[in-house]
């Protein structure tokens, strides 16, 4: 049985989620905390499999809670926030969140994304080494190494996206396929979510993220990496 901890100060949202999980996924053990400090303490004491974290907490900034939770092994973190600004979303991903959902949200969408994250078994990553030009992706360690010996750390979701693009080197991977791989199904808004992850990958891997040469877009279809990998 998996355990989910929600750190959220709005009792109505907590009750809504508790009911949604009880109806759609009764095997899940559900716990909650209304304050950031309380949530950190419960996460440390109870070792949940996944935390759903609201960023707008009354006692401490949600990003500070995220940074602390990220130090705990084997905990997946989903940000649940009313902050739809891309800068906040990117900051959450940079600090180690595994996914994010913007309020208002659809309960079945959130549950589907939680299911997919838990199926990944974060403590036992699948080991695969993929090569693309001068770059090497290690999906077990979630990092990229270059011919110069430098390493670039990726989040698990970034690693999953990049692995799929490299496996299909030279071919477009459409939005719906990427969404299914990440969240288990396509859903309304997945294109915007993918855009955030692709933007983050480009900032890590491209010389000029505004004019990408490695992770390319096919308007209205999806993304691809060119045959032969990045230039240079």
Q: pLDDT digit string (tens) for 157-191?
A: 888 899 999 999 889 999 999 988 877 666 666 78
CB distance 29 to 101 below 8 Å:
no
CA distances, 224 to each of 5, 131, 142 (Å):
36, 15, 19
Contacts of 129 (CB under 8 A, 6+ apart): 136, 137, 138, 139
Per-domain residue ranges of the chain: 3-119, 129-224
More confident residue, 30 or 89: 30
pLDDT higher than 60, residue 106:
yes
What CATH number belongs to 129-224?
Answer: 1.10.10.10
3-119 sits in which CATH class? Answer: alpha beta
What pLDDT score does 120 carry?
A: 62
More confident residue, 232 or 197: 197
Helix (H, G, I), strand (E, B) or coil at 51: strand
Torsion of CA 175, 176, 182, 184, to 10 degrees: 170
pLDDT higher than 90, residue 141:
no
CA-CA distance, 33 to 177, in Å (whole number)? 35
pTM: 0.67
Quick one: pLDDT band at residue 84, thresholds 50, 70, 90? low
Question: How many C-alpha atoms does 232 have within 13 Å on its Cβ side?
Answer: 7
CA-CA distance, 41 to 46, in Å (whole number)? 8
| pLDDT, tens only, 16-33 | 999 999 999 999 999 999
């Amino acid at each position: 049985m998996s355990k989910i901890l929600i750190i959220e100060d709005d009792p109505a949202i907590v009750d809504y989620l508790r009911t949604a999980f009880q109806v759609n996924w009764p095997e899940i053990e559900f716990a909650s905390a209304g304050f950031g400090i309380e949530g950190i303490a419960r996460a440390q004491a109870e070792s949940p499999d996944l935390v759903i974290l609201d960023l707008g907490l009354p006692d401490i900034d949600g990003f500070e809670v995220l940074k602390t939770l990220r130090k705990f092994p084997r905990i997946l973190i989903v940000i649940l926030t009313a902050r739809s600004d891309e800068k906040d979303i990117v900051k959450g991903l940079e600090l180690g969140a595994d996914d994010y959902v913007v309020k208002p949200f659809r309960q079945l969408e959130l549950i589907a994304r939680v299911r997919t994250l838990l199926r990944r078994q974060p403590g036992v990553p699948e080991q695969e080494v993929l090569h693309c030009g001068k770059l090497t992706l290690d999906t077990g360690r979630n990092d990229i190494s270059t011919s110069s010996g430098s390493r670039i750390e990726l989040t698990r979701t970034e690693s999953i996206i990049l692995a799929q693009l490299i496996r299909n080197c030279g071919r477009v991977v459409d939005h719906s396929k990427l969404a299914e791989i990440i969240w288990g199904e396509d859903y309304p808004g997945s294109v915007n979510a993918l855009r955030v992850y692709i933007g983050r990958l480009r900032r890590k891997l491209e010389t000029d993220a505004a004019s990408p040469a490695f992770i390319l877009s096919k308007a209205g279809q999806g993304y691809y990496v060119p045959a032969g990998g990045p230039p240079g």
